[in-house]
Structure 1
């Protein structure tokens, strides 16, 4: 394999291996692309909803802790090891809670020491002061929750479907061939050596992960990268590209690339004519509060306009929104 990073494991590690989605990791991948004005190789532009979310100070703080200009290190505290929540929403809630509960020593070690070692740019003074104040954990947790609500929550079922299919495939491989054999089929850069997982990286190294949980997290929005996470004590996560993401460029791109999702797409489709929140709720079948929430996000992103007409506020989609709907129609 050439230059490799070796993750030394034992039978205990293998016995504690599990597969799980990581909503926080998917969010960070999408936020990184958004902040860098980048495009996903398959899903394209993160879209106006994601860019509008960056205006929130807590989302901007979160983005300031992500690598840029060729750097690769992301503080592990931003993507906590997925827990074992029984309901799908529990996974994100647990990760947000872990960010907020991060120990100050761990935060300063990752934000100050590791970024200084791995980044080509210095940490901004304002970001440093927030970290030193002890308020950073709460603001980062709020930033993740806000970015998720603004950009990924409505489109998550489609992303989760891709991830669940990969997990089902890996589970079948474990049942048929065992954990070790499955580990060796995650990605061409990953091999199973009997007592270690080896990963092709630009550097040599060895990390002892004996006795830790091994969480395998299929990744969609950081596809096609292989990412390891070992800096938070007691946590070991290996992110690998989910199957089928690159099979047929543009699959599902219409809805996912713009992260509009079904609810917002339905609203935009019905806003060729100006309508009120109450009228939309009746026509679409959503609660007025839900419609209002989605309209607010769409307005911040410049996808709808609003004007007051008497005692009502009327919304109408913009030319940009019409263009996104047309792209989605063509992609499907």
Structure 2
């Protein structure tokens, strides 16, 4: 059990943030076996063939994410590949600039990563951190960019819920249902941990709370300097993230954008190709392409290349429209 002691300044400086970079790292852990319950199996089934077919060197990233051990509390990740975000919603590009600017003194880890990889990083930090950033960008485009609107909607909804809990009842109310491994009592946050024990003080730095889709069922805590103390936890509703049951077409949405386009938006709960959409909706591939062009022009759908295929997915605006219409 770790006890995190809060002072008045810590409560005042506790904040929320999202981290695309952390989702990269956590999702690589999933691909390496951190999803024994199969929550992310639908995503992994789609992504693994794309990664295998892609002409991209992902070793600089995959080498630095250890194979998760059987214990849910083991399997450290090097801190320098996912520093705490400085703003509430940084872009991946902003976070990668922070990685590339990592001081050489921080290029060390107790995680089980190949010694040759760490030796190369220390020998030529500029070159190797640049290669790491390139590998992360390539992985993002193949594995996460097509799904990011859906993941982002889940994470933002959790932050809105948590903010409301904080307003309603303060820190105790905020942490009461954060996760079964976390509880709050008498100004102290208690974190279940099988390896580490004792008291940690925030020393006025506050706590950074980062909801993460791919972290489930774990809670990751980072309480050592030089980064702001942070807690990465599963958001509410993560179990529905890859729900693939066909969504009914909303009559309200069909009245605004037309039945065919409403049907396409409903089917894009998960990224899909033109061929997939034609099969699911009964429309011709040419008709689907025309509707997708209109939806993209309206900012409701985005396109991402995954190997030899182009996948379409709802944008944040598209997610909002579908949710508001009750589809």
Task: Give the total of aligned pairs.
Answer: 274
CA distance in 1, matches of 2:170, 2:29: 35
Which secondary structure does the structure 1 equivalent of 2:191 belong to?
Answer: strand
Q: Determine if the alignment matches structure 1 residue 245 to structure 2 residue 229.
A: no
Matched residue, 2:91:
91
Alignment of 1:69-108 (within 5 A): 69-70=68-69, 71-84=74-87, 90-107=90-107
TM-score (norm 2): 0.71
Alignment of 1:85-234 (within 5 A): 90-107=90-107, 109-110=108-109, 114-115=110-111, 119=112, 123-134=114-125, 135-203=127-195, 204-234=197-227
Gaps of 5+ in 2: 248-266, 280-285, 311-326
Matched residue, 2:272:
265
Q: Determine if the alignment matches structure 1 residue 15 to structure 2 residue 12.
A: yes
Residues 251 and 262 from structure 1, CA distance in 2 versus in 1: closer, same or farther, beyond 3 angstroms?
A: closer
Q: Residue 73 of structure 1: CA displacement?
A: 0.3
Which deviates further from its counterpart, 29-38 or 161-170? 29-38
CA contact (8 A) 1:219 1:240 kept: yes
Residues 57 and 65 from structure 1, CA distance in 2 versus in 1: closer, same or farther, beyond 3 angstroms?
A: farther
Deviations 1:118-144 (CA, angstroms, capped at 9, x unpaired): x3xx62424522442212222222222
Q: Residue 196 of structure 1: CA displacement?
A: 2.5
Which secondary structure does the structure 2 equivalent of 1:212 belong to?
Answer: coil
* RMSD over equivalenced CA pairs, Å: 3.5
Residues 69 and 31 from structure 1, CA distance in 2 versus in 1: closer, same or farther, beyond 3 angstroms?
A: closer
Which secondary structure does the structure 2 equivalent of 1:154 belong to?
Answer: helix
Which secondary structure does the structure 2 equivalent of 1:47 belong to?
Answer: helix
CA distance in 1, matches of 2:103, 2:65: 19
CA distance in 1, matches of 2:274, 2:143: 15
Residues 253 and 66 from structure 1, CA distance in 2 versus in 1: closer, same or farther, beyond 3 angstroms?
A: farther
Which secondary structure does the structure 1 equivalent of 2:179 belong to?
Answer: coil
TM-score (norm 1): 0.70
CA contact (8 A) 1:191 1:197 kept: yes
Q: Residue 106 of structure 1: CA displacement?
A: 0.5
Which deviates further from its counterpart, 131-140 or 146-155? 131-140
Residues 97 and 232 from structure 1, CA distance in 2 versus in 1: closer, same or farther, beyond 3 angstroms?
A: farther
Which deviates further from its counterpart, 144-153 or 124-133? 124-133
Q: Residue 47 of structure 1: CA displacement?
A: 3.0
Which secondary structure does the structure 1 equivalent of 2:194 belong to?
Answer: coil
Q: Residue 93 of structure 1: CA displacement?
A: 2.6
Gaps of 5+ in 1: 273-277, 305-331
CA contact (8 A) 2:2 2:198 kept: yes
CA distance in 1, matches of 2:230, 2:246: 30
CA distance in 2, matches of 1:194, 1:282: 60
Q: Residue 181 of structure 1: CA displacement?
A: 2.9
CA distance in 1, matches of 2:202, 2:96: 24
Matched residue, 1:32:
29
Which deviates further from its counterpart, 64-73 or 41-50? 41-50
Residues 280 and 240 from structure 1, CA distance in 2 versus in 1: closer, same or farther, beyond 3 angstroms?
A: same
Alignment of 1:292-331 (within 5 A): 294=304, 297-299=306-308
